[in-house]
Amino acid sequence: MKKKVLLASTTALLASIVISGSIMAATGKIKLVVDGNEVPTDAAPRAENGRVMVPISTVSKALGANVQWDAKSNSVIVNSKQDVWDHQMEYLSTGWDEIRNLIASYVAYYESKKDGYKDLVSDKFKSDFVDPTLIISKKDEPILDYQFVDVKFNGTPEDVSQFTVRVDVVQYTDVEVQPANLVKKQLDFDVRYDQKKGSYVIDGIWVKGKETLDSYTVFPGLTFKSIPKY
């Protein structure tokens, strides 16, 4: 979903934040703190006429949004949610719960290492996220959090139940060999409805992107950081 923020000037690309109560003249540096973490800015926040002016690009990126400048329409465009494939998938509402639960079950088995996960995948399962012959990783690489990003239809008129689901996964890697890396991976789950099983199955899991993180906040009060080498 795209939201347009119209600004009269683009010299600083600052957006104002209205805070209850009056803003007194700042006597020192104004810090920008997002989800408990101080965020460095390329343009310093400042108090002006009872408002705090902060760089919209910095705030948006810290919240996981993308910011673009459209010179033709003189607009700053903020994409609050990543739209990978730009598909309208309202018709999937009756099957989305099954697909969501399928991927959630895979993550649960990935963590527990218990048997039963083979029922979640098809007999042609392939992956570059894990060894396809093992289906889940046997390494100690815990998944700390995951978020559904987008979904697209990639079936055919003969098989209308094939989809790809983009999921952001945050996990520690190489825990046995410190320093452990805190990484966010973009995973594509290829899923389809298996008529014989009477349920959705996973045909493949593919890594589409990887980013090393210094820290990751699940919610205020729960922040994971890279494990330093001892």
The winner for highest mean pLDDT among 23-37, 114-128, 177-191 is 114-128
- Let me know: does 11 contact 82? Beta carbons within 8 Å: no
Residue of 39, 89, 42 lying closest to 64 (CA atoms) = 39
Q: What are phi and psi of 197, to 5 degrees?
A: -80, -20
Residue after which a domain boundary falls, among 49, 79, 109 = 79
124 falls in which pLDDT band (50, 70, 90)? Answer: very high
Q: What is the mean pLDDT of residues 44-61?
A: 80
Mark whether 175 and 97 lie in a shared domain. yes
Q: What is the mean pLDDT of residues 63-75?
A: 75
pLDDT of 185 reads 96
Please spell the DSSP secondary structure of 18-67, one letter per residue: --SS--PPPSSPPP-EETTEE---SS--EEETTEEEEEHHHHHHHTT-EE
Residue with tokens 């104002």: 16
The token pair that represents 66 in the structure block: 């993308």
Domain count, the chain: 2
Mark whether 146 and 219 lie in a shared domain. yes
For residue range 158-176, list pLDDT tens digits in order.
888 999 999 999 998 876 6
Mark whether 141 and 71 lie in a shared domain. no
The token pair that represents 210 in the structure block: 């990887």
Q: Distance between CA 201 and CA 189 in Å, rounded?
A: 10
Write down the pTM of the prediction: 0.69
Mark whether 94 and 116 lie in a shared domain. yes
Mark whether 36 and 104 lie in a shared domain. no
Mark whether 66 and 109 lie in a shared domain. no
**Residue 143 CA from chain centroid, whole number:** 13
Residue after which a domain boundary falls, among 52, 79, 106 = 79
- pLDDT at residue 93 tops 80: no
Least confident stretch, 7-21, 35-49, 98-112: 7-21
Strands ordered across the beta sheet of 2-6? 2-6, 75-79, 66-70
pLDDT of 8 reads 33
The winner for highest mean pLDDT among 32-46, 61-75, 194-208 is 194-208
Residue after which a domain boundary falls, among 47, 79, 111 = 79
Q: Distance between CA 145 and CA 147 in Å, rounded?
A: 7
- Domain of residue 114, CATH code: 3.10.450.50
Mark whether 72 and 117 lie in a shared domain. no
Mark whether 68 and 120 lie in a shared domain. no
Of 60 and 20, the structure prediction assigns the larger pLDDT to: 60
Of 90 and 209, the structure prediction assigns the larger pLDDT to: 209
Answer whether residue 20 is part of any domain: yes
Mark whether 59 and 155 lie in a shared domain. no
The token pair that represents 173 in the structure block: 């890697």
Residues 6+ apart with CB under 8 A from 50: 22, 23
Which structural domain, as residue segments, surrounds residue 57?
A: 2-79
pLDDT of 1 reads 42
Mark whether 74 and 51 lie in a shared domain. yes
CA distances for 47 relative to 41, 42, 53, 61, 213, angstroms: 15, 16, 6, 22, 31
Least confident stretch, 9-23, 33-47, 72-86, 137-151: 9-23
Answer whether residue 230 is part of any domain: no
For residue range 142-160, list pLDDT tens digits in order.
999 999 999 999 988 888 8
Mark whether 124 and 192 lie in a shared domain. yes
The winner for highest mean pLDDT among 87-91, 98-102, 112-116, 173-177 is 98-102
Q: 145 pairs with which residues across the strands?
A: 170
Answer whether residue 44 is part of any domain: yes
